[in-house]
Structure formats: C-alpha cells, structure tokens
Amino acid sequence: MRVEEIKQHLINDIIPFWKNLKDDSYGGYYGEMDYDLKLYQQADKGCILNSRILWFFSNAFVTLQDEDCLAHAKHSYEFLKNAFSDKENGGVYWSVTFDGKPKDDTKHTYNQAFAIYALASYYGASQDKEALKLAYDLVEKVETCNKDAGGYLEAFDRYFKPSSNEKLSENGVMASRTMNTLLHVFEAYTELYRVDKNSKIAESMAWMLDTFAEKVYNPKERRLEVFFDEDMNSLINLNSFGHDIEASWLVDRGVEILGDQKYIGKIAPITKALVDHIHSVAMDETSLYNECEDGNVDTKKVWWVQAEAILGFLNGYQKDESRTDYLTSAGKIWDFTKTYMIDHRKGSEWFNELYKDGTPIKTKEIVGPWKCPYHNGRMCFEVINRNISF
C-alpha cells in the first residue's frame, strides 16, 4: 500500500511542483520560494539546486518513462552547461544570477560532485555523449586540482586556489576535509561508473571505500566522523544521524556497482552497524532526530533526514531480513512524513524543518540552494524500484 502511495505522491505532487518552477525566460529553475510560498523569480540560482533538479528529472524519466521529465532534464542540462560551467578555467560555479551570470564563483569539491552526479544520470537517461564528456571534464579537475595526497579538499576559488571552507563547515569548526564531501564524491563516481565502466573511476571508488572504513568510520561509536583537519583527525564530537543513515545505503550501492568481493566483505559490517546504531539512538516513536553533538540531541525533524531514513531502513532490511523492525520504522517515518512533513498547502511540496512536535519552522524556505527534490525524490524512486511492502 505504501509503495503505491509514495508513487502517487511522486507523480501527483513532487514532479508537478518542480515542473512549475521552470524558468522559461532565463533558463534553469527558480532559486527561491519562502515559507509563505512567495516565489522569488530574480533570486540567485545555486548549482547544487540545479544539479539536483537535473538528477531528479533524469531519474524520473528512467523510473516512470515520462518523456516530459526528460524534456525538463534537458532544460536543466542546458542551463548547467551554459551558465554554471566556467569555460575558461573549468569546473562549475557555486551560484549564478537569475539570468545566468556568475555570482559566487567558488569551485567547491562538493558542488563539482553533484554536477558529475547529475551529468552521469542525464547521460544514462538521454545517451547524450556531450553530458558524459562534461562529467569527465569535471572529474579531471577534481582529481588534479581538488585532491592532494591525503584526499579531497573542500573549497577553491575560481582558479582552483584553496579558499576557506565556510560552505561545508558547521558547529563552530572550520574543516579542511569533510565526510559529507567525501560521501558525495563517492556517490557521483558510483553513478558515473554505473553508466560508463571506467577503470580509473573504479580505482578512485576503491580508495574512498578504504578511507571510509579506515579513517571516517568510528568503530567504537559506530558512526561516521564529520569534520576533519588536513590529517583526517576528527574536529568535533558529532553524530549526524541523517548522513549516517544516508551513507549506510549509498555506500552499499557503490559497493554493489563496483562489484569487488574484497569491498563487499570489508564494507558490509560497517553499513550494517551504521543502520543498527541510528535505529537505536536516533528514532523516537515517529521519525528521526537531526544530530547529536557532545551528547546533546537536536530533536528537529529535517525533511531530508526523514527521506533518507525511510530508504536507509528499507535497505537495512534487504541486507538482513530478520530486521523486520526496520520495516516497521520505515512505515512509521512515512506515516509521520505524509501527515506533518509534506506541506499540503496548494502550490507547495515538503516543509524544510519541523519542531519535535511536528510544527513547521516558518523561517525555513520551501525552495532554496539546498532545498530540492533530491532526497525526497530519490526516496520515491528507490521505494518504487525496490518494491518492498512496509
């Protein structure tokens, strides 16, 4: 029942909402809608938002065979190619103005990763070889400019000179490396390897899996560390519940696509432990909390965390079918989501954040640089494709 319910929510609510944000005058999709559903047509357009929209419509086409979704993906692709790509120095900008001029020209590794992810998916949907070439152009920049002997660094200026990492640092620290960026570079390379089996991409994926297992995963706490210095020393006592449950299935997916038996054996105990830990410490009776810093739990309910939790628990059950409690929890989170997290006002989508009691936080936008159809859309695609009754 829930699988069909989620499919109808995707078709009738999420897809039409994002289609309605298409900017036919200047390209791409509008960059901001506030809590009161006011659309800012001249707001800056973030590359992360645009990349995630490109990824979303590409996968909507693959999942539903809706040709109109492929047309929307092409619209987003053209804007990524023409507005966000730095033709002179390579890479993609962090943001552009509403009419497609560079605004924040930071070349952040995280941002490059999402463009690679989107371009790979678009190639998978459209077979447009230009998109595949653009993806590999970005990979070359990431591997030659954004990486050193210790791994992936974070923020760079327009010319790929290192700059300060405010964009991916939080909780009072300034991180030289982050779990979040590493996870999404891995995700991007996984998608690229899925659509085009390239041995160098496989080598990079293997290196990242080793790094996750040996430097990012904390076996004592059964969590991923979040913020690091250049030598991969953790900077803060933080458990990001959303990232851990997301990583539990994303890393599993990467291992499956890589198809290397060594990593199946090495990674499976880690992802299994992540799911079990999150299930035991982050769930209340209805849904998932946000994070825990120094033993203090942030009890907000964040849109993307709920989407990833549904998917993470379904994946955890598929890896161990004795854990029917994971199915029960996935169902509880979806029931909470459809009652509280989905914004049932006409012309809206999901709320961004809720207080613990389910009341929306009205200072949080409905559409913004980070608020996009990536997490909730992906949850819908995965639920449809996995087709698990829960």
> CATH number, domain at 265?
1.50.10.10
Residues ≥6 apart with Cβ < 8 Å to 17:
347, 348, 349, 373
In 3D space, the residue among 309, 297, 312, 296 whose CA is nearest the CA of residue 356 turns out to be 297
Mean pLDDT value of segment 342-355: 98
The total domain count for the chain is: 1
**CA angle in degrees (0–180, nearest 5) for 257-183-93:** 110
Residue 193 has pLDDT above 90, yes or no: yes
Helices in 146-260 by DSSP H: which ranges? 179-195, 199-211, 241-258
What pLDDT score does 170 carry?
A: 86
- Strand partners of residue 297: 292
Copy the structure tokens of residue 43: 């707001």
Helices (H), 100-178: 109-126, 129-145
pLDDT tens-digit readout, 169-181 = 988 999 999 999 9
Nearest-angstrom CA–CA distance, 157 and 163:
6
Taken in order 251, 66, 69, 35, is the CA torsion positive or negative? negative
Residue 317 amino acid letter: Y
Distances (CA, A) of 191 to 180, 309, 332: 17, 21, 30
DSSP-H helix ranges across the chain:
2-9, 15-19, 47-64, 67-79, 109-126, 129-145, 179-195, 199-211, 241-258, 261-281, 303-319, 324-336, 374-386
- pLDDT for 147 equals 97
Distance, CA of 320 to CA of 317 (rounded, Å)? 5
Tokens 């990674």 sit on residue: 267
Single-letter amino acid code for the residue at 32? E
**What's this model's pTM, rounded to 2 decimal places?**
0.98
CB 153 within 8 A of CB 177: yes
Distance from chain centroid for Cα 305: 11
Closest CA to 160 of 106, 80, 110, 102: 106
Chain CA centroid to CA 192, Å: 15
- Please tell me which residue, 169 or 43, carries the higher pLDDT value: 43
**Range 355-381 average pLDDT:** 97
* pLDDT category of residue 120 using cuts at 50, 70 and 90: very high
The tokens for 199 are 């041995």
Q: What is the pLDDT of residue 301?
A: 98
> For 215-245, what is each residue's pLDDT tens digit?
999 999 999 999 999 999 999 999 999 999 9
Q: Mean pLDDT over residues 2-6, rounded?
A: 98
Per-residue buried b or exposed e for 171-197, using 16+ beta carbons within 10 Å of the residue's own CB: eebebbbbbbbbbbbbbbbbbbbbbee
Q: Is the pLDDT of residue 36 over 90?
A: yes
- pLDDT digits 0-9 by tens, 46-70: 999 999 999 999 999 999 999 999 9
Nearest residue to 194 (alpha-carbon basis) of 284, 122, 249: 122
Sign of CA dihedral 345, 291, 94, 139: negative
User: Average pLDDT for residues 104-128, to the nearest whole number?
Assistant: 98
Q: pLDDT at position 143, please?
A: 98
> Could you tell me the residue range of the domain that residue 352 belongs to?
2-386
Give residue 51's pLDDT.
98
Burial category of 266 from C-beta neighbours within 10 Å (exposed 0-12, middle 13-18, buried 19 and up) = middle
CA 384, CA 380: separation in Å to the nearest integer?
A: 6
- 93 and 84 Cβ atoms separated by less than 8 Å: yes
The band of 20, judged by pLDDT with boundaries at 50, 70 and 90, is very high
What burial class does residue 379 get, using C-beta atoms within 10 Å of its C-beta: 0-12 exposed, 13-18 middle, 19+ buried?
Answer: buried
Closest by Cα among 266, 248, 263, 260 to 318: 248
Mean pLDDT, the chain, whole residue set: 97
What are 144-172's pLDDT values in tens digits?
Answer: 999 999 999 999 999 999 999 999 998 89
pLDDT of 130 > 90? The answer is yes
> What is the rounded distance in angstroms from the CA atom of residue 226 to the CA atom of residue 238?
7
The yes-or-no verdict on residue 1 having pLDDT over 90 is no
pLDDT by residue (tens digit) across 83-93?
999 999 999 99
Q: Which amino acid is at 233?
A: N
Provide the pairing of β-strand 301-302 with 177-178.
Answer: unpaired
- Tokens 């854990």 sit at which residue? 323
The DSSP code for 337 is I
